[in-house]
């Protein structure tokens, strides 16, 4: 999930303006620093890509163990102290030994693939059957060790990745309160935006996006119910891929809503986020929706990364975004001009109201499915708490430390639901499916290859309909990154990734963070 706006049926224009305010005005949360600070230290792996790391390993410039050590040192220097980003909840105590074992494999000529020896961060709602906790940022699960790896974690280990650590998030993936603070959890405190420390990092996958942006790792895994990958990718200047629901297994991921949830990937480049995506895609019998992708997924999505792929592509953009005089609108129009230079055809469309109409239904689906999903997860876990009601009671008993800034009314609403046979739930789920049909009609009428834009009005419809989207940098507004999101129909990842890659190559809009204490609007 992303921000509290998901839960009220507000007009789309108001919705877009809220997104603008997230950039123009800072969202000060707990634990903000007042000092003006920049971090201009040298880091041997600054901005490095997965391919560059592999080349360093191949040439013997570094071992995987040395790479892991460099990242661990940087985490200690700028995440736990220095600017104090609080993006990493826990580092893997076995990371160095795992890296040494992978170095030994390499020395014998056994290289598992492009992720062999590469450190990866995981959002702290993804089970790791090791010495690290899995807590969804909640103190209620502060003693919870998963009994086994999530399916996607097994995939990463098999690919030779080093699980470097777990990242902070908006607690319970932002399904606790309408007043929640993006990037804050009772276990991890406030994640900070590395571009402007007292600005909103967005969420709920705040820590994963910040860790990639701040060079604490090269790639990271997040999860998304609504905007939990797109929004933090946008506001932290990285690439975030939310794939079609069903490409990546959710087994072993603490759920919000089964109809909306999917893991996704972060990288500083489209190629890196795609390499990580490749490793995660597989069929999983324990998550039946993944069995539907067998004939639809591609073994290597990097083969679609074509810098010339925008030629002749018809890209739809919401009309009022094209006309908007605000700073984000200006940056978006510059991005569209870049696309036109590569031969894209920009088509004004009107689809925003379709999403505005189903916001209430989206929330209904979330609250019904959250209760069922959390109860199923906890009942088979090693946690002492076996139900959502147990979590609610624990939070009430420990309200001073768990709820100092916001409550848990969303959990209470979910607890009050009566099951997935409810007519209210079935009707709401139907509305989400109807949105997909309506979006498909828009695509067909205008003969579109994709839709793009800025903010929740672009990635929100994709999430609600179960469609894939990719978000990548398109510039800065008042020192804070703003991203462009591109969406298209289910299983259209090859086309989406190619469009995003072509735009990335011509625009080159990512800039490294400066760790500013505040932006000019707050001086």
Q: Residue for token digits 């309200």?
A: 399
Among 11-20, 367-376, 458-467, name the one with the lowest average pLDDT. 11-20
Question: Catalytic: which of 173, 204, 324, 492?
Answer: 204
The rounded percent of the chain whose pLDDT value lies above 90 is: 89
Q: Residue for token digits 């098999």?
A: 158
pLDDT number for residue 422:
98
pLDDT number for residue 24:
38
pLDDT number for residue 296:
79
Per DSSP (E only), the strands in 367-487 are 450-453, 469-477, 480-487
Higher pLDDT, 24 or 362: 362
The pLDDT confidence band at residue 29, using thresholds 50, 70 and 90, is very low
Would you tell me how many other CB atoms lie within 10 Å of the CB of residue 294?
Answer: 9
Higher pLDDT, 35 or 384: 384
pLDDT number for residue 39:
52
For 323-349, letters b (16+ CB in 10 Å) and e give ebebbbbebbbebbebbeebebbbeeb
pLDDT digits (tens, 9 = 90+) for 178-192: 999 999 999 999 999
* CATH code for the domain defined by 35-522: 3.90.1300.10
For the cut 80, the answer to whether the pLDDT of residue 346 exceeds it is yes
Catalytic status, residue 138: no
Task: Give the predicted TM-score (pTM) of the model.
Answer: 0.94
pLDDT number for residue 23:
42
Higher pLDDT, 17 or 467: 467
Enter the tokens of residue 507: 């625009």
pLDDT number for residue 293:
77
121-135 mean pLDDT: 98
Across the chain, mean pLDDT equals 92
pLDDT digits (tens, 9 = 90+) for 298-318: 889 999 999 999 999 999 999
pLDDT number for residue 1:
52
Catalytic status, residue 204: yes
Distance CA 344, CA 321 (A): 17
pLDDT digits (tens, 9 = 90+) for 216-273: 999 999 999 999 999 999 999 999 999 999 999 999 999 999 999 999 999 999 999 9
pLDDT number for residue 41:
60
The contacts found for 372-375 with CB under 8 angstroms, 24 or more apart, are 372/258, 372/419, 372/420, 373/255, 373/256, 373/257, 373/258, 374/254, 374/255, 374/414
For the cut 60, the answer to whether the pLDDT of residue 342 exceeds it is yes
Question: Catalytic: which of 180, 228, 259, 356?
Answer: 228
37-48 mean pLDDT: 76
Question: Catalytic: which of 123, 154, 192, 371?
Answer: 123
The pLDDT confidence band at residue 21, using thresholds 50, 70 and 90, is very low
The pLDDT confidence band at residue 106, using thresholds 50, 70 and 90, is very high
pLDDT number for residue 295:
74
Distance CA 102, CA 311 (A): 42
For the cut 70, the answer to whether the pLDDT of residue 61 exceeds it is yes
pLDDT number for residue 521:
60
Decide: helix, strand or coil at residue 440: helix
């Amino acid at each position: 999930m992303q921000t509290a706006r998901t839960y009220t049926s507000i007009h789309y224009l108001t919705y877009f303006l809220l997104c603008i305010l997230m950039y123009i005005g800072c969202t000060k949360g707990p634990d903000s620093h007042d000092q003006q600070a920049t971090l201009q230290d040298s880091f041997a792996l600054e901005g490095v890509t997965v391919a560059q790391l592999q080349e360093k390993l191949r040439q013997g410039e570094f071992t995987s163990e040395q790479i892991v050590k460099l990242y661990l040192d940087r985490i200690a220097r700028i995440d736990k102290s220095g600017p104090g980003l609080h993006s990493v909840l826990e580092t893997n105590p076995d990371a160095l030994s795992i890296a040494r074992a992978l170095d030994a494999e390499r020395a014998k000529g056994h290289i598992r693939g492009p992720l062999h020896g590469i450190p990866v961060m995981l959002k702290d709602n993804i089970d790791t059957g090791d010495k690290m906790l899995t807590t969804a940022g909640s103190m209620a699960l502060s003693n919870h060790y998963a009994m086994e790896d999530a399916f996607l974690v097994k995939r990463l280990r098999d690919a030779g990745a080093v699980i470097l650590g777990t990242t902070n998030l908006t607690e319970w993936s932002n399904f606790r309160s309408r007043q929640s603070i993006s990037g804050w959890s009772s276990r991890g405190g406030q994640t900070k935006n590395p571009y402007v420390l007292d600005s909103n990092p967005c969420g709920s996958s705040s820590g994963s996006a910040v860790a990639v942006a701040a060079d604490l790792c090269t790639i990271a895994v997040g999860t998304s119910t609504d905007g939990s990958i797109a929004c933090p990718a946008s506001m932290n200047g990285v690439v975030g891929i939310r794939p079609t629901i069903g490409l990546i297994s959710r087994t072993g991921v603490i759920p919000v809503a089964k109809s909306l949830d999917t893991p996704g990937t972060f990288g500083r480049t489209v190629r890196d986020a795609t390499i990580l995506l490749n490793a995660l895609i597989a069929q999983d019998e324990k998550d039946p929706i993944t069995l539907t992708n067998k004939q639809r997924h591609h073994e290597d999505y990097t083969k679609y990364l074509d810098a010339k792929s925008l030629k002749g592509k018809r890209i739809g953009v919401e009309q009022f975004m094209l006309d908007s005089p605000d700073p984000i609108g200006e940056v978006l129009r510059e991005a569209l001009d870049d696309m036109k230079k590569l031969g894209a055809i920009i088509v004004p469309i009107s689809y925003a109201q379709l999403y505005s109409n189903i916001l209430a239904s989206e929330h209904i689906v979330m609250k019904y499915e959250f209760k069922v999903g959390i109860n199923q997860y906890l009942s088979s876990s090693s946690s002492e708490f076996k139900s959502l009601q147990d979590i609610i009671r624990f939070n009430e008993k420990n309200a001073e430390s768990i709820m100092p800034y916001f409550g848990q009314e969303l959990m209470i609403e979910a607890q009050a639901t009566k099951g997935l046979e409810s007519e209210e739930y079935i009707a709401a789920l139907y509305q989400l499916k109807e949105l997909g049909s309506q979006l498909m009609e828009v695509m067909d009428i205008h003969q579109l290859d994709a839709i793009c834009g800025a903010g929740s009005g672009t990635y929100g419809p994709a999430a609600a309909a179960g469609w894939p989207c990719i978000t990548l940098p398109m510039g800065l507004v008042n020192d804070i990154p703003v991203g462009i999101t591109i969406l298209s129909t289910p299983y259209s990842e090859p086309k989406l990734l190619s469009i995003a890659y072509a735009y990335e190559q011509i625009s080159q809009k990512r800039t490294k963070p400066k760790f500013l204490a505040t932006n000019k609007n707050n001086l």
